[in-house]
C-alpha cells in the first residue's frame, strides 16, 4: 500500500501522494470543504460513487460514511486541501450571520460546489502554508481563513447554507435498509449504531431482531 502524506494545519489539511492510495473506510467528522489541486479523488458513499477532478470542489456532510481513493495524475503528485468547519465554529458564525436556508427533506452526503474565481483564489492562498514547516498555523490565522472560506462559499453558492446550518445528530433510520447499504464499510459497531440513530445496546438488539444473528458476525 503506497504511503500518503498528510499535513495538518489545525482545521486545514493538505494531502499528497505519488501513487494511487485507498484510505480506510471512515466517517467525515465535520462538514468539510475539499478541493483537488492535482489528480482526482473517488468517493464511495451510501448513495453512490462520485469523482472529484482536478480544480473541482465539493462540500462533504458531517457524519458521512465513505471510502476515498486518491489518483495522482500520470507522472505527477495528487494534491488536495480540506477545510473542516466544526460545529462550534459554525454555530458562532451563524449567530453573527443570518441565513435564510430551508432544510431539505433529502439528506445529501456530498454537494458539488460551483466553480468561481473567488473560490479558486481562496485555495491558491492556502498553498503557501503547505510548505511551511510548523505543525500548526496560529489559531487567529486559521480563524481568519475559516471566516474567509465561509464568506466566499456562501457568496458563490448559497445552497451550501442548507447543509452547514444543519446541527442535528443522525435520526433513527430504518436499520435493515441502512445496514444493507453500509455493511461493506469496515467501521466499529459503535459508529454504525451512532449513524443509525441508536445506542450500541439498541443497535445490537434491533440488528439481532432483523437479521437473526449478532452484528459482530
With cut-offs at 50, 70 and 90, classify the pLDDT of residue 104.
low
Q: Is 24 helix (H, G, I), strand (E, B) or coil?
A: coil
Q: Are 189 and 216 in contact (CB under 8 A)?
A: yes
pTM of the predicted structure, to 2 decimals? 0.79
CATH numeric code, 5-164: 2.60.120.810
Tens digits of per-residue pLDDT, 113-146? 989 999 999 999 988 877 765 566 777 888 999 9
**Long-range contacts (CB closer than 8 Å, 24 or more residues apart) made by 158-161:** 158/101, 159/111, 160/59, 160/111, 160/113, 161/99, 161/100, 161/101
* Residue boundaries of the structural domains of the chain: 5-164, 175-211
Tens digits of per-residue pLDDT, 6-61? 455 568 888 888 888 777 667 788 899 999 999 999 998 878 899 999 999 999 98
Residue 119 has a pLDDT of: 94
Tens digits of per-residue pLDDT, 137-173? 777 888 999 999 999 999 998 888 888 987 777 777 7
Distance between CA atoms of residues 45 and 62, nearest Å = 13
Amino acid at each position: 500500500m503506497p504511503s500518503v502524506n498528510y499535513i495538518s494545519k489545525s482545521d486545514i489539511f493538505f494531502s499528497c501522494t505519488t501513487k494511487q492510495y485507498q484510505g480506510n473506510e471512515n466517517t467525515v467528522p465535520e462538514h468539510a470543504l475539499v478541493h483537488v489541486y492535482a489528480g482526482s479523488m473517488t468517493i464511495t458513499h451510501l448513495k453512490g460513487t462520485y469523482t472529484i477532478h482536478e480544480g473541482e470542489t465539493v462540500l462533504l456532510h458531517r457524519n458521512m460514511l465513505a471510502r476515498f481513493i486518491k489518483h495522482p495524475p500520470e507522472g505527477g503528485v495528487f494534491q488536495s486541501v480540506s477545510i473542516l468547519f466544526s460545529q462550534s465554529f459554525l454555530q458562532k458564525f451563524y449567530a453573527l450571520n443570518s441565513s435564510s436556508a430551508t432544510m431539505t427533506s433529502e439528506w445529501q452526503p456530498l454537494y458539488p460546489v460551483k466553480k468561481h474565481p473567488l473560490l479558486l483564489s481562496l485555495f491558491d492562498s492556502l498553498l503557501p502554508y503547505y510548505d511551511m514547516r510548523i505543525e500548526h498555523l496560529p489559531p487567529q490565522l486559521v480563524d481568519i481563513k475559516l471566516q474567509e472560506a465561509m464568506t466566499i462559499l456562501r457568496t458563490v453558492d448559497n445552497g451550501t447554507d442548507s447543509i452547514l446550518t444543519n446541527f442535528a445528530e443522525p435520526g433513527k433510520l430504518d436499520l435493515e435498509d441502512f445496514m444493507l447499504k453500509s455493511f461493506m464499510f469496515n467501521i466499529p459497531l459503535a459508529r454504525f449504531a451512532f449513524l443509525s440513530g441508536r445506542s450500541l445496546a439498541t443497535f445490537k438488539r434491533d440488528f439481532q431482531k432483523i437479521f437473526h444473528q449478532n452484528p459482530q458476525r
